[in-house]
Amino acid sequence: MKRFKDISIVLSILLFVSCLYFVTSVSAQQKHIILATTTSTQDSGLLDVLIPIFEKKTGYFVKTIAVGSGQAMAIGQKGEADVLLVHSPDAEIKFVSQGYGINRRLIMHNDFIIVGPEKDPAGIKGIKSSVDSFKKIAKLNSLFISRGDNSGTHVKENVIWKESGIDPTKEKWYQQTGLGMGQTLNIASEKKAYTLADRGTYLALKKRLALGILVEGDSILLNIYHVIEVNPARWTKVNSAGGKAFADFMVSKETQEIIKTFGVDKFGSPLFFPDAGKKVEDLGK
């Protein structure tokens, strides 16, 4: 019987400790912000550089939830995030006009590229227009891997398909992964397929991929990142001060300078181009 008592005491202590752990972790997050962002900013490693600097400067603790732009905005729409860093301009404009977000500000851009197997069975290498190259892929039924997750990249891909007048969704040569950019590139590489990717993630993963850049430089392929604060008027629980602090940090001169040089040492060229204060119309010129 004594042992029974001993064990119940031990168990109660353990339970107490876990409760304590709960309470401390709750109180430890008075000053946190939730950043919903795209996978490309995390997979490229940019946030790993920027967030520690922001945290050190402001004392905020940033909870980065890296999902596709579509999901990031869905989270923001429910008031479950404080600030968004996304790259799906048309959806963003809608998001702001519906009153879910405020203070949408331009941060940076890079570009999308159409990548595919070095052998290039559809022969699209060197084609200037991404619409034409999509048409050619469709015509030859070459395997195309799509993100299929409503992310900024997926939305861009849909725009190109729409422009080319093709609905690939029911075709056998068109496959949707529903995964992030990194995993989708890996799958395209394994399957010797074409896909649309953002340059940042592609460069970061290049060493393991059997994929080459086939089409680039088309103006439709511009990939633009904005920061949006979630509207506190709509959701009272949103940490608007924190969200604003992060947005301000992203457009600050110091941060823009870091973005400018990020990736140069590792990849030989920058992954993103800082654009704070510029106009969208002037990009890529």
Partner 1 sequence: MDLIIEGIVKAFLLFFSLDSEVIGITLFSLKVSGIATLISLFIGISLGTAVALIRFPGKKIVVSLINTGMGLPPVVVGLFVTIFLWRNGPFGFLEILYTPSAMIIAQAIIATPIVMGITLASVQQLPGKLRLQIIALGATRLQMVWTLIKEAKLPLLAAVMAGFGGVISEVGASIMVGGNIKGYTRVLTTATVMETSKGNFDIAIALSIILLVMAFLVNLILTFVQQRKRPS
Residue 161 CB, nearest distance to partner 1 (Å)?
24
Q: Which of 65, 63, 66 lies closest to 40 in space, CA to CA?
A: 66
CA distance 220 to 156: 8
Position among 37, 39, 130, 240 found at the interface with partner 1 (CB under 8 A): 39
CA dist 273 and 47 (Å) reads 15
Q: Any bridge partners for residue 196, and if so which?
A: 114
Q: What part of residues 101-160 is at the interface with partner 1 (CB under 8 A)? A: none
Contacts of 209 (CB under 8 A, 6+ apart): 115, 185, 186, 189, 202
CA distance 58 to 223: 29
Looking at the Cβ atoms of 86 and 137, the one nearer to partner 1 is: 86
By the rule CB under 8 A, 79 interacts with partner 1 = yes
| 16 vs 119 by CB, closer to partner 1 | 16
Q: Which one, 18 or 97, has the nearer CB to partner 1?
A: 18
Using CB under 8 A, which of 56, 170, 207, 285 touches partner 1?
207
- CA–CA separation, 241 and 249 (whole Å): 12
Is residue 223 within a helix (H) or strand (E), and if so which, with residue range?
Answer: strand 222-230
Alpha carbons 134 and 239: distance in angstroms, whole number: 43
Are 72 and 36 within 8 A, CB to CB? yes
d(CA 197, CA 164): 18
Q: Which residue carries 């048409």 as its tokens?
A: 135
15 binds partner 1 (CB under 8 A): yes
**Residue choice 6, 9, 16, 48 for contact with partner 1 (CB under 8 A):** 48
Of the two residues 180 and 263, which places its CB atom closer to partner 1 in the complex?
Answer: 180
Q: Please, what is the minimum distance in Å from the beta carbon of residue 51 to partner 1? A: 8
x-or-dash string of contact with partner 1, 165-194, rule CB under 8 A: --------------xxxxx-xx--------
Of the pair 130, 186, the CB lying nearest partner 1 is at 186
**Side chain identity at 50, as an amino acid letter?**
L
Determine which residue in the list 6, 9, 16, 21 makes contact with partner 1, applying CB under 8 A. Answer: 21
Binding site for partner 1 (CB under 8 A): 1, 4, 11, 14-15, 18, 21-22, 25-26, 29, 34, 39, 42-43, 45, 48, 51, 61, 63-66, 78-80, 179-183, 185-186, 204-205, 207-209, 235, 237
